[in-house]
Amino acid sequence: MHSIAWRYRVAPGCRAAFEALYGPDGDWARLFRRSGDYLGTTLYRDTADADAYLTIDRWRSRAAYDAFLHDERADYAALDARGDALTVEEARLGVIGG
């Protein structure tokens, strides 16, 4: 399995929209579901800092994730721009698995 962890700081007043976009049934997950190799997304909110979030996206393999990024690059970029409007910070924390 291949998992990617991201950390976000949400812009003031944007938590509900962020959760709708990045949650396990949000627009990102719907885009990812175009691939049969997508296994799911988990969204965590920091209990000590309500504007801080962590997502973990799970894929069958790195090759499957890379193929998805290539095939869906235009829609990925458009959704990424929507997310940028909701956040003040975004950082890829790392990858787990291969």
Alpha helices by DSSP H, listed for 15-84, are: 15-22, 27-32, 62-71, 73-84
Q: CATH code at 61? A: 3.30.70.100
- Helices 73-84, 15-22: axis angle to 10 degrees equals 160
pTM: 0.91
Chain segment 76-98, per-residue pLDDT in tens: 999 999 999 999 999 999 998 86
Q: How many domains does the chain have?
A: 1
- C-alpha dihedral sign at 7, 11, 13, 19: negative
Q: Is 45:68 a contact under the CB 8 Å cutoff?
A: no
How far apart are alpha carbons 97 and 1 in whole angstroms? 6
Chain segment 3-45, per-residue pLDDT in tens: 999 999 999 999 999 999 999 999 999 999 999 999 999 999 9
Domain span including residue 19: 2-97
CB atoms within 10 A of CB 64: 16
For residue 97, the model assigns a pLDDT of 83
